């Protein structure tokens, strides 16, 4: 659709206008953001002409000088009456299009994008996605990766790091984006410590193992734990129980998973990475709180952008523990159409008085990638079609519908990110039905299409039954307890707030938390009682001064499986919207005040390909101007 609406705004409304009228608010959940970095990284085009870098906003008060722009520029125009940026006389926001990719079929067609990291849940944020990145994080001694300021000393931990200070200098990341905010640094540090503690114990119980063997086995354990935590703890909170069952996302309680299918493409879908999985942006608080070891909140009046711009302020001993305890205690914002001011006006703000606008960037990135409109995804997901504004009132608040109607000429122009974010949540979940469909299908593909999935059996890389049962005992709370210095109690399900009746805090010594056993990884009989309890870097060593806590390892005879554990994956996978959505029927006749009941996904029908539904002639969206020319 094209043209303008009665109010004089373009039918595909200005991104900043949409922010001002829909998303403006009355901690990005860092655990989700870490997972987001794990799955996708799309490069932007390098804007230079004759070797000279070019900016897209040639004049800060205008975006209209298109003839002088680099062809990959797609700047965001800022309205003159913008409530924040107008005071700085800003009329243009920088935006560069994602780098184009050759199509998988080597055919002409619409523009595709590249994913620079492996699409699998394989710990790539820790270990990297290519050989050079992987080698850069390794000490090449005892299977460890760098931790501490003195990286050149092959893993010798610096005092500032062992004291629990939160410093980006304490780790060598596999992904350069890890230091975008303190929360990412904290979560990354947790898994770096976790890796090194496991590597230390494996080296002790298998002293004949080489550095390479220890590193690869440790890496396999860590990415298996990340997969387990994602599907066991994170996805049920986001999607709700019915969607988990509908898409077959429940992990097995015993035995091996037999649904691996080499024909399933696990590549990250554009609709997932550019819209649906960005729902977490609405969960962000304007600052990260801290809590002490008794879970008492510590006042923090430093905004998110101030912390991100100057992380030297968080290098004090114990800051890592306090921040992680703050995450465990700080509720996220409600998932709705509102986004925190820190993300809409101060994103990546450093020396200037203003920053980027994440919502406008999300909308522009979706249009850059040619994401179909919101209404396009409803029927392939088995949801009721949205044909007019009245239909939209069945799935979102009527006030939101009125605001959207004032910005878009027709429901078929609705951006997927904006409308999906405004949907009423499913019962027991965080997201609405459209985002739930896209997210669930993506994670189903990631599981079924991963040859190295930790539950797979009868392949060379399979874990033994005893090893797999230990992975099933792990949790994010356990990982935090085992890697932090001052965390004494925590709720068993770290993704949910502590609740005295259903998720009450327990001691880190509680068997419910402390039950991971590495004995199944021993290759021969081994008398573990002979191991020095004070060996550096074991799970218990950092905590012994607090509680004398030890990692219980039961003496077990386990044969040497000698299985390959390294994942040989290459980045550069083209992002695609080839999601195999199963046709479903969903009755939307629900009370407008109540969440959508996922149980109304009843009927499983014929598998449909979104891409095939999208194609009409040479244009994937008939009558739409959303596809940008190459």
Give the pLDDT mean for 536-565: 35
- Domain membership flag for residue 568: no
What proportion of the chain, given as a percentage, has pLDDT over 70? 63
Residue 164 backbone dihedrals phi, psi, to 5 degrees: 90, 15
Residue 508 pLDDT exceeds 60: yes
Give the pLDDT mean for 448-475: 95
Give the pLDDT mean for 509-514: 84
In tens, the pLDDT along 63-78 reads 555 556 778 888 888 8
Lowest mean pLDDT among 169-178, 381-390, 423-432, 558-567: 558-567
Greatest mean pLDDT among 39-48, 111-120, 530-539: 111-120
- Domain membership flag for residue 197: yes
Q: Is 137 helix (H, G, I), strand (E, B) or coil?
A: helix
pLDDT of residue 418: 92
pLDDT of residue 565: 33
Greatest mean pLDDT among 7-11, 289-293, 504-508, 525-529: 504-508
Higher pLDDT, 185 or 58: 185
23 pLDDT band, cuts 50/70/90, is: very low
What is the spatial distance between Cα 565 and Cα 497, in angstroms, rounded to a whole number?
35
Length of the chain: 630
Higher pLDDT, 205 or 129: 205
Lowest mean pLDDT among 112-121, 257-266, 520-529: 520-529
554 pLDDT band, cuts 50/70/90, is: very low
In tens, the pLDDT along 568-621 reads 333 444 443 434 344 333 333 333 345 554 444 433 322 333 323 322 222 222
Greatest mean pLDDT among 77-81, 84-88, 188-192, 463-467: 463-467
CB under 8 Å to 344, separation ≥6 — which residues? 19, 23, 24, 25, 357, 358, 359, 360
Residue 290 backbone dihedrals phi, psi, to 5 degrees: -120, 155
pLDDT of residue 130: 86
499 pLDDT band, cuts 50/70/90, is: confident
What is the spatial distance between Cα 554 and Cα 52, in angstroms, rounded to a whole number?
63
What is the spatial distance between Cα 317 and Cα 162, in angstroms, rounded to a whole number?
9
pLDDT of residue 293: 84
- Domain membership flag for residue 475: yes
314 pLDDT band, cuts 50/70/90, is: low
Residue 253 pLDDT exceeds 90: yes
Sign of CA dihedral 510, 512, 513, 514: positive
Residue with tokens 């959505």: 581
Residue 149 pLDDT exceeds 60: no
Domain of 165, in residue numbers: 124-265+453-543
- Domain membership flag for residue 172: yes
Cβ neighbours around 572 below 10 Å, total: 12
pLDDT of residue 324: 83
Dump strand ranges (E) for 197-283: none
Residue 222 pLDDT exceeds 90: yes
170 pLDDT band, cuts 50/70/90, is: low
pLDDT of residue 18: 55
Residue 381 pLDDT exceeds 90: yes
Number of domain units in the chain: 1
- Domain membership flag for residue 256: yes
Sign of CA dihedral 122, 454, 204, 568: negative
Mean pLDDT of the chain: 74
Identify the burial level of 318 via C-beta atoms within 10 angstroms of its C-beta, where 0-12 means exposed, 13-18 middle and 19 or more buried.
Answer: middle
What is the spatial distance between Cα 208 and Cα 189, in angstroms, rounded to a whole number?
28
What is the spatial distance between Cα 526 and Cα 546, in angstroms, rounded to a whole number?
28
pLDDT of residue 86: 78
The alpha carbon torsion through 536, 316, 483, 510 (nearest 10 deg) reads: 120
- Domain membership flag for residue 565: no
- Domain membership flag for residue 407: no
- Domain membership flag for residue 260: yes
299 pLDDT band, cuts 50/70/90, is: confident
């Amino acid at each position: 659709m094209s043209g303008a609406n009665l109010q004089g705004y373009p039918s595909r409304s200005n991104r900043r206008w949409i922010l001002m009228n829909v998303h403006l608010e009355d901690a990005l959940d860092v655990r989700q953001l870490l997972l987001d970095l794990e799955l996708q990284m799309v490069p932007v085009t390098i804007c230079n002409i004759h070797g000279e870098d070019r900016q897209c906003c040639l004049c800060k008060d205008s975006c209209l000088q298109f003839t002088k722009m680099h062809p990959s520029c797609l700047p965001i125009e800022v309205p003159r009456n913008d409530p924040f940026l107008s005071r700085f006389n800003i009329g243009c926001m920088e935006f560069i299009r994602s780098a184009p990719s050759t199509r998988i079929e080597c055919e002409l067609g619409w523009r595709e994008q590249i994913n620079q990291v492996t699409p699998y849940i394989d710990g790539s944020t820790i270990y990297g996605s290519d050989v050079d990145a992987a080698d850069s994080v390794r000490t090449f001694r005892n299977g460890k990766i760098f931790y501490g300021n003195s990286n050149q000393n092959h893993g010798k931990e610096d005092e500032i790091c062992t004291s629990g200070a939160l410093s980006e200098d304490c780790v060598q990341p596999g992904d350069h984006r890890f230091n975008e905010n303190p929360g990412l640094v904290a979560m990354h540090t947790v898994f770096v410590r976790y890796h090194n503690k496991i590597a230390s114990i494996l080296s002790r119980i298998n002293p004949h193992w080489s550095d390479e063997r220890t590193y690869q086995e440790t890496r396999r354990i860590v990415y298996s734990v990340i997969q387990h935590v994602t599907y066991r703890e994170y996805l049920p909170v986001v999607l709700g129980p019915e969607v988990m069952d509908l898409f077959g996302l429940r992990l097995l309680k015993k035995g091996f998973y037999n649904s691996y299918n080499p024909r399933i493409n696990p590549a990250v879908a554009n609709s997932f990475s550019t819209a649906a999985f960005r729902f977490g942006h609405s969960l962000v608080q304007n600052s990260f709180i801290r809590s002490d070891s008794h879970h008492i909140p510590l006042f923090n009046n430093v905004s998110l952008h101030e912390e991100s711009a100057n992380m030297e302020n968080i290098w004090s001993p114990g800051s890592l523990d306090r921040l992680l305890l703050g995450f465990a205690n700080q509720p996220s914002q409600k998932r709705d159409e509102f986004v925190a001011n820190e993300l809409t006006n101060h994103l990546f703000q450093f020396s200037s008085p203003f920053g980027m606008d994440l919502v406008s960037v999300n909308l522009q990135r979706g249009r850059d990638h040619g994401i179909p409109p919101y209404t396009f995804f409803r029927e392939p997901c088995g949801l009721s079609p949205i044909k007019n504004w009245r239909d939209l009132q069945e799935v979102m608040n009527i006030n939101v519908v009125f605001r959207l109607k004032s910005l878009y000429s027709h429901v078929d122009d609705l951006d997927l990110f904006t409308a999906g974010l405004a949907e009423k949540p499913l019962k027991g979940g965080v997201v609405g039905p459209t985002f739930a469909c896209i997210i669930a299908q993506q994670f189903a593909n990631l599981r079924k299409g991963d040859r190295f999935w930790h539950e797979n059996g009868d392949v060379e890389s399979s874990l033994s039954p005893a090893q797999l049962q230990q992975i099933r005992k792990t949790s994010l709370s356990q990982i935090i307890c085992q890697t932090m210095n001052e965390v004494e109690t925590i709720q068993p399900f770290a993704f949910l707030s502590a609740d005295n009746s259903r998720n009450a805090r327990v001691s880190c010594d509680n068997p419910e938390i402390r039950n991971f056993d590495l004995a199944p990884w021993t290759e021969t009989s081994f008398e573990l009682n002979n191991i020095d309890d004070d060996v550096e870097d074991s799970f218990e060593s950092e905590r012994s001064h607090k509680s004398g806590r030890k990692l219980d390892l039961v003496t077990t005879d386990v044969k040497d499986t000698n299985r390959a554990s390294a994942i040989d994956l290459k980045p550069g996978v083209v992002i695609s919207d080839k999601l195999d959505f199963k046709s479903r029927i969903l009755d939307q006749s629900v009370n407008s005040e109540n969440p959508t009941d996922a149980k109304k996904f009843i009927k499983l029908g014929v598998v449909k390909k979104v891409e095939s539904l999208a194609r009409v002639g040479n244009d994937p969206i008939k009558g739409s101007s959303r596809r940008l020319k190459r």
